[in-house]
Structure 1
Amino acid sequence: MKYAIIALLLLFTTACENQEKQKEDVLTEIPTTPPSKSVEGEIPLKIQSLGDVKQAYEKTNLDITHNRYTSSSFTYNCNGERGGTVTYYLNDNKLRLIEHAYNEYSHNEAVDRYYVLNNQPYFIFYKHTTWQFDGEAEEEEGATKDDISEKRYYLINNSLTECLEKKYTTRSTGKATDPDGIGNKTVSCPPVNELLEDFTKLYENKDTRGKLECL
């Protein structure tokens, strides 16, 4: 009887140890960084913090990636000097994003994105590119380089709360540049009315279709 009890105790102890080990193995598989709320949550009803900006921004990008929004667009060409496409993304007839992709002459191109909630922008992203022939690439004729500037503007109640900038150069030859490896720098914010003036112009054309001469 004594040996039977000891055997049962040993069996119980082994089972407990195995259970604890399994629990530890499971815990090691859980990521230390929690998943973004925007992936599982919804766009906030109102932007009140930088956290709300991030959540709404990520959720909008996710929905667009999965084709959950409807879209409409128009194009324009202003005397061959500047031309582009303006695209509006909507969710349940609510405007979520305005994307303005355009070029000026042949060496400048840009993409401006206005993330919108309650018909007001809460995050603005500019990516402007100027390209030219790369005089430093002696080994390959016709090599080019792109000088790229990215700007990020965070707004709460139509007031700028943070402004960031990133500049880098990519080349058609040599080692590729990883933009994600370059940090953003905090910069002085421009007058908010300048940003809202461009946004308002695009917003007022949200029902435009087809092709225009000048925007």
Structure 2
Amino acid sequence: MKITLISLSLLFIFSCKKERQETLQSNNSADIMKSKSVTTAKNDSLRTVDDIKNEYAIISGLLNSKKLDSTTFNYNCDEKEGEVTFYFQDKKLKMVKDFYAEHSHFSSSTKYFVKDDQVFFIFNEETVWNFDDGGTPEKPATKDDIKERRIYILNDKAIQCFEKNYTIRSQGNNQDPNTIANKETKCDISEFMKQYKLIIKNKDKKNNINCL
């Protein structure tokens, strides 16, 4: 009788352990499936150029309505003076703006639009300015030769790129840039992403720094 009771007790203990293991395995499987589902949804949230355009419009709207928090740091490197601004929504990075000017009449502004810590769109504007004919020593005329680039990115790869070139003269009589068509070009984002990675490494800087 005593042996029987011991056997029943051991059987009960093993049965409970097995049940707990099966429950844990079931819960772990559910967590893994849930994690995969979240990851899939995250990676699949932007799949087409139209998806990118929609997300761009959302972030632009938040920027225009000043609903994003921001932090800034400045850098000065090899005659290049720059300012980087980070824009956040609920502590999630949404956009990074990198502006710098050089002493050689050149400036560049690059906006990196971000979703789930991945860049999905880059808007770059480069300006070279020179003195223009028709001015006076008291009021010199200038012209800005501007190049705009729009780059659509999926999974860290550029899938479509456009370029637009135009000139703005200080004396006026300029064509509206919005009426100038974008031309599709070859994509190369290596330099942009190299700069972006350097920026992200310094995103917690509070003071001015030298080179990125």
Q: TM-score range by the shorter chain?
A: 0.7 to 0.9
Larger helix fraction of residues: 2
Return the letter of the residue paired with 1:58.
Answer: A
- Pick aligned residue for 1:111 from 101, 109, 112: 109
* 1:134 matched residue in structure 2: 132
For residues 121-173 of structure 1, give each alpha carbon's deviation from its aligned partner in whole angstroms, at most 9, with x where no partner exists: 100011000000003x2678510000000011100111111000000001001
1:56 corresponds in structure 2 to: 55
Match of 1:122 among 120, 123, 147: 120
Q: Distance in 1 between matches of 2:60 and 2:155?
A: 21
Per the alignment, residue 69 of structure 2 pairs with: 70
Q: 1:117 is matched by which residue type in structure 2? A: K
Q: Distance in 2 between matches of 1:45 and 1:99?
A: 25
- Give the aligned residue type for 1:72: T
Q: How big is the shift at 1:194? A: 3.2
Asked if the contact 2:97/2:111 (under 8 Å) is kept, the reply is yes
Unmatched runs of 5 consecutive residues or more in structure 1: 1-43
Q: 1:207 aligns with which of 185, 196, 204?
A: 204
Q: Is the 8 A contact 2:167 2:174 kept in 1?
A: no
Which of the residues 177, 180, 189 maps onto 2:178? 180
2:161 equivalent in structure 1:
163
Of 192, 196, 212, the residue aligned with 1:195 is 192
Matched, 1:143 2:141: yes
d(CA) in 2 for partners of 1:139 and 1:83?
Answer: 29
Q: Residue in 1 aligned with 2:81?
A: 83
- Once the two structures are superposed, the pairs formed by residues 13-32 of structure 1 within 5 Å of their partners are none
Normalising to structure 1: TM-score of the pair? 0.74
Alpha-carbon separation, structure 2, partners of 1:209 and 1:187: 38
Unaligned runs of 5+ in 2: 1-42
Q: In the aligned structure 2, how far is the partner of 1:151 from the partner of 1:201?
A: 21
Q: Percent identity?
A: 36
**Counterparts of 2:46 and 2:206, CA distance in 1:** 30
Question: Quick one: which amino acid aligns to residue 71 of structure 1?
Answer: S
Say if 1:97 and 1:129 are closer, same or farther in 2 by CA, change over 3 A.
same
* Misfit runs of 4+, over 4 Å: 138-141
Alpha-carbon contact 1:46-1:117 (below 8 Å) kept: no
Q: In structure 1, what is the Cα distance between the partners aligned to 2:76 and 2:194?
A: 20
Query: Which residue matches 2:23?
Result: none
TM-score by length of 2: 0.75
User: Counterpart in 2 of 1:27?
Assistant: none
**For residue 94 of structure 2, what is the aligned residue in structure 1?**
96
Q: Larger Cα Rg: Structure 1 or Structure 2?
A: 2
2:195 alignment partner AA: D
- State the partner residue of 1:36: none
- Determine the C-alpha separation between the residues in 1 that align with 2:187 and 2:90: 33
Superposed CA RMSD in Å reads 1.8
Give the whole-Å Cα distance in 2 for the aligned partners of 1:195 and 1:130.
Answer: 19
Partner letter of residue 51 of structure 1?
D
2-structure distance, mates of 1:189, 1:45:
22
